[in-house]
Amino acid sequence: MAFNVATWWERIRHFFDFAARRRERYQKWDQLAQNGDEEARYRLLMLYREEGPEYYPLAFKWTVIVANNGDDCGVMLQTAEMYAAGHGAPQNEEKALLWFERALSLHIMQGRNSPLSLEAANYIQERIQQLRVKLGRDNQ
């Protein structure tokens, strides 16, 4: 069996192409998440904090899916932030406001069991107030 330099070099290049390896890993997680794997879903939504704008659409997709389950106010907060900033989807302050309100409501309902800190809850209240004023809903 002859040594093939081209094949060897391609394997070395692929090994050190960390971006390509990351994309492959995220594609595998996406497939697992589509099949119901909760851990894969959470890993993908965390790409928003861990990776750059290239992965915002993928993170947004899974953030909204998990947020729609309605049991994680931290993910609801992330959904609101992503809509407010236009990360992964077009900026939409109406939807951002809705998700901030949902996150705060769930936080209040969960009480001491909420994963959000008092500082996070205060931040959400401030953002709700800002968006209501900006959207002309400050009388609610």
SS (HEC) of 105-138 = HHHHHHHHHCCCCHHHHHHHHHHHHHHHHHCCCC
- Per the model's pLDDT, the better-predicted residue between 16 and 120 turns out to be 120
Q: What is the pLDDT averaged over residues 94-123?
A: 96
* pLDDT-derived band at 18, boundaries 50, 70, 90: confident
Alpha-carbon gap, residue 76 to 102, rounded angstroms:
7
**8 Å CB contact between 115 and 73:** yes
Nearest to 56 by CA among 35, 85, 16, 22: 85
- Domain positions in the chain are 8-134
Q: What is the pLDDT averaged over residues 47-67?
A: 92
**8 Å CB contact between 61 and 77:** no
| Beta-carbon-side half-sphere exposure of residue 139 (alpha carbons within 13 Å) | 1
Alpha-carbon gap, residue 97 to 105, rounded angstroms:
12
| Residue 34 predicted with pLDDT over 80 | yes
Q: Which fold has domain 8-134?
A: 1.25.40
Q: Which helix (H) or strand (E) holds 20?
A: helix 18-34
Alpha-carbon gap, residue 53 to 57, rounded angstroms:
8
* pLDDT-derived band at 7, boundaries 50, 70, 90: confident
Give, as one character, the DSSP assignment of residue 90: -
Nearest to 59 by CA among 73, 46, 72: 46
Q: Report the mean per-residue pLDDT for the chain.
A: 90
| Residue 15 predicted with pLDDT over 80 | no
| Residue 140 predicted with pLDDT over 70 | no
